[in-house]
């Protein structure tokens, strides 16, 4: 059974709370994936310490040690392959990726973004949502496409925007949902229940279990 679990490499640059939610979910014996590697491009990323305390293999591939983006990505790719990684999860990984790297991991690389895509691609999503006065905000897990913060959507969670919200309070409300939907999305992909169909993701049994669109229940 254990050998059938998909080997996942999680790419981080900082705090790593989404990585942590994946590690915690994968500690369940029936979860269809295991976290085989946590890779950071930043030496003092707090998430690396957590991974080490969990006994998870870690790797540091510092972008600034390479002459260019492609050399950096080739080193990351070799590290992932060297650890037998089959699926990649970007979790607060703060480097833009080239079409070459995205192509290597096509339909096998997930990202989490703190907005309801296709709205608010890019940075400062909470500030922008507040500035435009939207009433509903949220988070998205998607397969990675060459364009930034784009690609077939696997799971989304919505949260209300409240009158007194600051970027920080809104971010915290969204983050709590990120920690719910990233493990869910990884489970759907690793188990084979989610598959890419053109620009969309089809989820087996979705009509019976519509939890890939999550409204907060907690
Ligand atoms: C999260 O909000 C994620 O959606 C975004 O960057 C943040 C990373 O936080 N891509 P953490 O490192 O997972 O705590």
Our answer to whether residue 126 is catalytic in this structure is no
Residue 29 C-alpha to ligand 1 middle, in angstroms?
26
Residue in the structure block whose two tokens are 């990649």: 88
Please tell me the predicted confidence (pLDDT) of residue 205.
81
Please tell me the predicted confidence (pLDDT) of residue 84.
98
Residues having CB within 6 Å of any atom of ligand 1: 12, 14-18, 91-92, 112-114, 175, 178
Please tell me the predicted confidence (pLDDT) of residue 213.
55
Residue 94 C-alpha to ligand 1 middle, in angstroms?
9
Ligand 1 atom 8, closest CA: 92
In 3D space, the residue among 108, 191, 182, 119 whose CA is nearest the CA of residue 145 turns out to be 108
The 10 Å Cβ neighbour count of residue 97 is 22
Burial of 206 (0-12, 13-18, 19+ CB in 10 A): middle
Q: Domain residue spans in the chain? A: 1-105, 112-218
Q: Hey, what are 17's tokens? A: 């709370």
In 3D space, the residue among 209, 113, 116, 111 whose CA is nearest the CA of residue 160 turns out to be 116
pLDDT in tens, 152-206: 999 999 999 999 999 999 999 999 999 999 999 999 999 999 999 999 999 998 6
Q: Is the pLDDT of residue 10 over 50?
A: yes
- The Cα 217–Cα 147 span in angstroms is 32
Give the right CATH number for 112-218 from 3.40.50.170, 3.20.20.100, 3.20.20.70, 3.20.20.140.
Answer: 3.40.50.170
CA distances 181 to 25, 51, 127, 193, Å, are: 11, 20, 22, 15
**Average pLDDT rounded to a whole number, residues 71-91:** 98
pLDDT in tens, 111-142: 999 999 999 999 999 999 999 999 999 999 99
Mean pLDDT, the chain, as a whole number? 94
Give the percent of the chain with pLDDT over 90. 92
Please tell me the predicted confidence (pLDDT) of residue 217.
47
Q: Hey, what are 84's tokens? A: 């037998």
Same fold for the domain at 1-105 and the one at 112-218?
Answer: yes
Instruction: Kindly report whether the global pTM for this prediction surpasses the value 0.85.
Output: yes
Superfamily, domain 1-105: Formyl transferase, N-terminal domain (3.40.50.170)
């Amino acid at each position: 059974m254990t050998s059938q679990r998909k080997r996942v490499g999680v790419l981080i640059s900082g705090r790593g709370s989404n990585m942590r939610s994946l590690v915690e979910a994968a500690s369940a014996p029936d979860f269809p994936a295991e976290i085989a590697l946590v890779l950071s491009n930043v030496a003092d990323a707090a998430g690396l310490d957590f991974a080490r305390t969990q006994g998870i293999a870690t790797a540091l591939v510092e972008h600034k040690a390479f002459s260019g983006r492609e050399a950096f990505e080739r080193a990351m790719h070799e590290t992932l392959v060297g650890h037998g990684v089959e699926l990649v999860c970007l979790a607060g990984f703060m480097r833009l990726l080239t079409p070459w790297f995205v192509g290597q991991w096509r339909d096998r690389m997930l990202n989490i973004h703190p907005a309801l895509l296709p709205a608010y691609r890019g940075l400062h999503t909470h500030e922008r949502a507040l500035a435009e006065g939207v009433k509903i905000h949220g988070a998205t897990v998607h397969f990675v496409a060459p364009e930034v913060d784009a690609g077939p959507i696997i799971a989304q969670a919505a949260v209300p925007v409240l009158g007194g919200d600051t970027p920080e309070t809104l971010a915290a409300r969204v983050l709590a949902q990120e920690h719910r939907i990233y493990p869910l999305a990884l489970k759907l992909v690793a188990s084979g229940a989610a598959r890419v169909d053109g620009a969309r993701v089809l989820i087996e049994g979705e009509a019976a279990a519509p939890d890939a669109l999550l409204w907060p229940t907690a």
